[in-house]
Structure 1
């Protein structure tokens, strides 16, 4: 989990957590800003013992909650990523506001494309890619199982990896499979928008910035998915490329 420990080491902010919202699809932590991550509970352990003390989050240093990202419990790791994203200062002067799907389409025209995670734009890529391999643990028709990553990533020219791989700690197994000649992206609202990730073989990151905290929290509380959250106007989509 070197990439996570490097991100954590880069954080120098002692702001306290002032709110936490765990919705059906998204988790939000507010401290210096409002950070998002995918709400993930699959494959995580549940402790049903009666003597477990509840985790106190509000009023704690967000940097301490951010360290939950290292937890083997996926639910806790999800919370930790949201805390990380609440502490990262995004340099807007270096970002562009563009949809990740368009970037992949432009970069991958006539080439081999691998997508880790089934994103809404994958159907659009079928018309432009030489080969398109969508690798997904929870497969839909036409997707390939997670274990096929070792088969397809080495032959890929463009690779887009869901940032939920930071939550389930599979990213560092995937990156060594990516050719150095490939264009490799990390994408999704869970993505930490920090150039630290560029030290780990990633060429571009695409994530989100919450621009209306209260609206975002209200939407998340009501179970909004990503498209609904985006349409609400609560977030902006941002991309940052390695210089």
Structure 2
């Protein structure tokens, strides 16, 4: 019998015990964690205090085993969970590790171009996007049906609870990596098991474990330049975050 925690446990358990967290940043849209092997991971910040926090001050985690910080990904306090997922990605999204696991650089190092390669594939197909990506519908104009499911609704979106009813009917399902933070990723992959599923975004671990959990394609962001990433996110770099790393992908055969 499988558990929804299996994917999280696999990602956490693969982190070597001797790696430590060297920096943690919770300012802005993204949570960032750096590791002692020069890795840096990101996760979408959800400032939701759903229960008392395990971490009152992220500075308390500096020098701790990266695996312990990554275990916060299982917290039901989503602020803590964002730090945990970023720590998972500090390991799995190290460029050397991602490439060694079969990931390859994407042709275009820009998230705004994520959906364009799928335009001919989704023609006349039913497409669902978990998470509001404002540039996605225009990139796939020939989709037979395109729906967006979102927890924080924008005009025209479906509520995320509609996933239970709509995903089994879809041909293509795009899932934001932020689903790792709010714990919906195992169920979303289960609901979309009959579809071509793409897990995408900087919150997405660059790990083949996602393919084993049911994803068809994984689109992540790999970086080993923590300071350069901070400059990019702060607007001090012409290329932004892309100056610090590269989008990478891995698909099932």
Give distance in 1, aligned partners of 2:224 and 2:157: 34
Residue 241 of structure 2 corresponds to: 229
For residue 120 of structure 1, report the CA deviation from its aligned partner: 3.3
Match of 1:5 among 9, 34, 39: 9
Give distance in 2, aligned partners of 1:124 and 1:66: 36
Match of 1:183 among 174, 183, 196: 196
Equivalences, count: 233
Q: Does 1:208 align with 2:221?
A: yes
Match of 1:62 among 66, 71, 96: 66
Taking a change above 3 Å as real, the CA distance of residues 43 and 158 of structure 1, as seen in their structure-2 partners, is farther
Give distance in 2, aligned partners of 1:177 and 1:213: 36
Give distance in 1, aligned partners of 2:193 and 2:89: 28
Q: Find the residue that maps to 1:148 and give its secondary structure.
A: helix
Given the two structures, how large is their TM-score scaled by the length of structure 2? 0.84
Q: Does 1:161 align with 2:175?
A: yes
- Structure number with the bigger relative contact order (C-alpha 8 A, sep ≥ 6) is 1
Give distance in 2, aligned partners of 1:74 and 1:126: 32
Give distance in 2, aligned partners of 1:139 and 1:223: 28
Cα-Cα RMSD: 2.2
1:1-243 alignment, distance < 5 Å = 1-31=5-35, 32=37, 33-42=39-48, 44-45=50-51, 54=57, 56-88=60-92, 89-91=97-99, 94-98=103-107, 99-125=113-139, 127-180=141-194, 182-220=195-233, 222=234, 228-230=240-242, 233-243=243-253
Matched-pair contact (CA < 8 Å) for 2:125–2:145: yes
Unaligned runs of 5+ in 2: 108-112
For residue 199 of structure 1, report the CA deviation from its aligned partner: 1.1
Matched-pair contact (CA < 8 Å) for 2:119–2:141: no
Given the two structures, how large is their TM-score scaled by the length of structure 1? 0.87
Give distance in 2, aligned partners of 1:128 and 1:96: 27
